[in-house]
Amino acid sequence: MRTIAIVNQKGGCGKTTTAVNLAGALTQDGARVLLVDLDPQAHATLALGLDAESLDENLYEVLADAPDAQGPPRLPSVIHAWSDHLHLAPSGIVLSALEQRLTAERAEDRTQRLALALADVAGSYDYALIDCPPNVGVLTFNALRASGEVIVPLETSDFGIHGVQKLLETIALLTDRIGHDLSVRILPTLYDGRTRYARETLAEIRGLFGDLCFDTVIRSNVKLREAARRGRPIGTFARSANGALDYGALAIEVAAQAQPGEVDLAPLGVADLGESLPDREIVVEFSDPLASDVRIAGDFNGWVPDKDVRSTVRADETGRVWRKVISLPPGTYHYRYVVDGEWREDPDNPNAVSAPVGGRNSILVVN
């Protein structure tokens, strides 16, 4: 099963439309697809004609508690069969309470719930498509953790493009925490070729993201809205509409993509491994005559700049030098400096790895 998260923190860029209609188009090509509605707004559930409020069970029942190894898997019991090949794991407003509920639990566990649930049904589907809410919270993190691939819909009719670098950076950082690679692709949406602005934006997107960008462009098509109102994927409602053709083309492109490796569900385990070993004091230094604020963030502090770090600054002949002291158990850590708000690799550390969507993380090994 290939699991693909549809992610963008920007609202209204076509995440749900893409999740529902790509699912529909893949199904029409013979694939078995599970559409996972991970957005408390439940728009994907609605777009398949189900009234979220009238459902007895939804994904909340699956994700709220840690899986019970003795009991039967919970996910199959909430799944609705929309057609033979298109199934839905529905959402409901109650999912918005999950964020708070899970925050109290161990990070490793709370972000792994969806991955574990999907593992129970992996043999039944060719694809799981996850529709994410417009933020990067614990639900989106669950989606990324469960996925091998990410599609980022990007509006060509608006200024959506400006936030996306930030999103890609976030995904790169999350990838390190997740412990597996994510293949990220950009999907231009809501394209109206009649406006010069849209044409220029599309060119800009292609220039910026190159091969990361799908060849397919999703045009603005009012039939897509109509299909959602009727509770059906567009291919089952207006087969020759532009929206159906575009999502059909996208399905072909997605299906042609080489299948990435299986998601490794084993937690990173670095912190766990070290729990019984004494911490070491690690000291790193950074100097840049032009910088006025330098912090450090890595998987050791949840990528929160300077959290759990003792930071001092002194002046020498080259300018200011920031010294960061971190207490760490033995293990391997990824980190970056945040220099005046910009995330950078450590210029003095040759040991670095490429993040899948740009930028590099420096590596720190504590023996």
Ligand X SMILES: Nc1ncnc2c1ncn2[C@@H]1O[C@H](COP(=O)(O)OP(=O)(O)OP(=O)(O)O)[C@@H](O)[C@H]1O
Q: Given the rule CB under 5 A, which residues bind Mg ion?
A: 15-16, 43
Minimum distance of ligand X from residue 21's CB (angstroms): 9
Q: Are 135 and 144 in contact (CB under 8 A)?
A: no
Of 165 and 354, nearer to ligand X (C-beta) is: 165
Minimum distance of ligand X from residue 211's CB (angstroms): 23
Of 16 and 221, nearer to Mg ion (C-beta) is: 16
DSSP strand pairing (319-328 vs 310-316): antiparallel
Of 183 and 242, nearer to ligand X (C-beta) is: 242
Select the binding partner of residue 142 from Mg ion, ligand X, none (C-beta < 5 to 8 A, by kind). none
Minimum distance of ligand X from residue 153's CB (angstroms): 6
Of 82 and 303, nearer to Mg ion (C-beta) is: 82
Interacting residue ranges for ligand X, rule: CB under 6 A: 11-17, 39, 41, 43, 134, 189-190, 218, 220-222, 224-225, 228
Minimum distance of ligand X from residue 72's CB (angstroms): 32
Query: Position of tokens 């849209």?
Result: 198
Minimum distance of Mg ion from residue 224's CB (angstroms): 13
Of 130 and 168, nearer to Mg ion (C-beta) is: 130
- What are all long-range contacts of 60-67, with beta carbons under 8 Å and residues at least 24 apart? 60/92, 60/94, 60/95, 60/97, 60/98, 62/89, 62/113, 62/114, 62/117, 63/95, 63/98, 63/102, 63/113, 63/114, 63/117, 63/142, 64/98, 64/101, 66/105, 66/109, 66/113, 67/113, 67/116, 67/117
| Tokens describing residue 1 | 């099963």
CB count in 10 Å sphere of residue 69: 5
Minimum distance of ligand X from residue 196's CB (angstroms): 19
Select the binding partner of residue 218 from ligand X, Mg ion, none (C-beta < 5 to 8 A, by kind). ligand X
Of 11 and 302, nearer to ligand X (C-beta) is: 11
Q: Are 335 and 362 in contact (CB under 8 A)?
A: yes
Q: Are 343 and 360 in contact (CB under 8 A)?
A: no
SS (H, E, C) 214-254: CCCCCECCHHHHHHHHCCCCHHHCCCCCHHHHHHHHHHHHH
Select the binding partner of residue 188 from ligand X, Mg ion, none (C-beta < 5 to 8 A, by kind). none
- One DSSP character per residue, 291-324 reads -S-EEEEEGGGTT-TTTT-EEEEEEETTEEEEEE
Of 132 and 363, nearer to Mg ion (C-beta) is: 132
Of 156 and 175, nearer to ligand X (C-beta) is: 156
H-helix or E-strand containing 134?
Answer: none
3-state percent breakdown (helix, strand, coil) of the chain, nearest 5: 35, 25, 40
Minimum distance of ligand X from residue 140's CB (angstroms): 11
Minimum distance of ligand X from residue 225's CB (angstroms): 4
Whole-angstrom distance, CA of residue 223 vs CA of residue 240: 10
